[in-house]
Chain A
């Protein structure tokens, strides 16, 4: 199984997929730069750097761009086998098709994690650079938020995978991701608690928990139904992927 994982990782060498991670990191870097620059309050005093606020904004950036970027990553990993006509070869290896599917999803999860963790590290390192100290409790809150983003963002990945394998192209997945990112941006800027019911916005739940000064504060009452919806989305779409990947005839490499 390790060989299958390693083979899947080799396939990403010299690809532009890493640029997608960079696309998410650039806004985080810019935001960090802006946030660490000295600010003057209304009374003329310097406002101290707020690490929690930094993490909140970083989480927002990742959860708004995530649907687009993570869909593109999934689309690329799954659909390229059809587009580059390597699917014939892939399915003639003595490895079950389900193993290939799981490994591809694992690789997407690794890419999501790299995106999230790197953006977390940017926030931490830029804070260290400015004030040379860290509040460990807030850092742990930020880490927890990012880990939850990784897990919750993965919930909708099988949907993108299913679309990629049925259409055998990355374009429908990109359209889906772009549309959802737009919805995410509108919803997250509204700061409403119930937006997390939309499965692609469930990762906003741990982000919103770090927000300060919003009209609605406290524990989010929609967490349980949101998680149920996300799990159902995950299970149903993964089930479809397994069925499609294992049952479908492979024709002409497309």
Chain B
């Protein structure tokens, strides 16, 4: 298996407080790896360790199948990253900031600056000083910078922070395009489940510093159950009727007037008829599937994402 990143028992502790514990993370070439967890779960600390900004207390990791320790410079040539906040020299324009990056990465081709600025839609404001940019524009410029040296691995910490919904969609499409066209591997941290669901093909769930599970999208599909979600006017009576008449036992009350039935999935008409025959008003029946949020809640024991 061609792994771009593998961590082994990676741990970061401050005093007796462990921020990240025994993390074993595996990212394959070409993955869009969603690194999912609540605020404070240890995502940023992990990503900081991966690019050498902080030292692990114990454990180690390999990037491009070579130990990072001792190969830091070589590994960083192949990585693009935005960690936490896209920092720029505010007195300089976008072009000047990227020129600094170009020189420090040792890229010969100056035209590549215009190319990435066009990709992220900042070409027209390239000569404007970055201090006049909005947070969303800075995020996009951060992505442009991370792409400039054509990295094999992009490590992005909450890359859609500050972006409006339209821009989030554009960025998502850009990631998918880059993964497909250039074969770039992504590690994207986020606390937004919906975002991860739409872009990642593998997801690592971190909670209180521990990696609870790594799961690919196919396995996630298999592990998340389908159900009939119904909006009824009396959930207590509806539950009683379903139990008595249809012998349904696998169900849950998901809210006031909302029932989820995990049986009789292909008998929507029968369920509807049984309830209406008992004078229970059925406002809506939808065949649905548990989503990543449900799965996350199951894994973390009900701790919701911030």
Contact = CB atoms under 8 A, between A and B. Distances in A.
Contact of B103 (A3, A86, A88): A3
Chain B interface size band reads: 20 to 34
Instruction: Please list the 8 inter-chain residue pairs (A to B) with the smallest Cβ-Cβ separation, ordered nearest first.
Output: A249-B54, A86-B87, A85-B87, A3-B103, A94-B76, A250-B53, A14-B91, A94-B77
A86 B88 contact: yes
A114 interface: no
A192 B35 CA distance: 66
B96 A13 contact: yes
Given A3-B104, A92-B79, A250 B87 contact: no
The CB with the most chain A CB atoms within 10 A, among B72, B90, B96, B104, is that of: B104
A86 B85 CA distance: 9
A7 B52 contact: no
A96 B71 CA distance: 11
B79 to A, nearest CB: 7
Interface of B: 48, 51-55, 72-74, 76-77, 79, 81, 83-92, 96, 99-101, 103-106, 129, 145
A45 interface: no
A89 B55 contact: no
A111 to B, nearest CB: 16
Contacts of B105: 93-94
Contact of B87 (A4, A96, A253): A253
A137 interface: no
B84 A6 contact: no
A84 B53 contact: no
A133 interface: no
Name A's interface SS: loop
A249 B104 contact: no
9 contacts: A7-B103, A10-B99, A14-B129, A84-B90, A88-B53, A94-B72, A94-B76, A94-B104, A251-B54
Interface of A: 3-4, 6-7, 10-11, 13-15, 84-89, 91-96, 247, 249-253
Nearest to A80: B89
A85 B90 CA distance: 10
A92 B129 contact: no
Contacts of B77: 94
A143 B88 CA distance: 39
Contacts of A247: 55
A89 B92 contact: no
A10 B84 contact: no
A4 B269 CA distance: 71
Contacts of B72: 94
Contacts of A10: 92, 96, 99-100, 103
B89 A250 contact: no
Nearest to B50: A92
Contacts of B85: 85, 88, 253
A253 B145 CA distance: 17
Nearest to A3: B103
Nearest to B72: A94
B48 A3 contact: no
Contacts of B106: 3, 94
A13 B81 CA distance: 25
Contacts of A84: 87-90
Given A88-B85, A94-B104, 6 more contacts: A14-B92, A84-B90, A88-B53, A92-B76, A249-B54, A250-B53
Nearest to B53: A250
A14 to B, nearest CB: 4
Contact of A249 (B55, B89, B92, B99): B55
A6 B100 CA distance: 8
B91 A15 contact: yes
Contacts of A7: 99-100, 103-104
A185 to B, nearest CB: 32
A87 B87 contact: yes
Contacts of A249: 48, 53-55
A78 to B, nearest CB: 14
Given A11-B92, A94-B73, A94-B74, A89 B103 contact: no
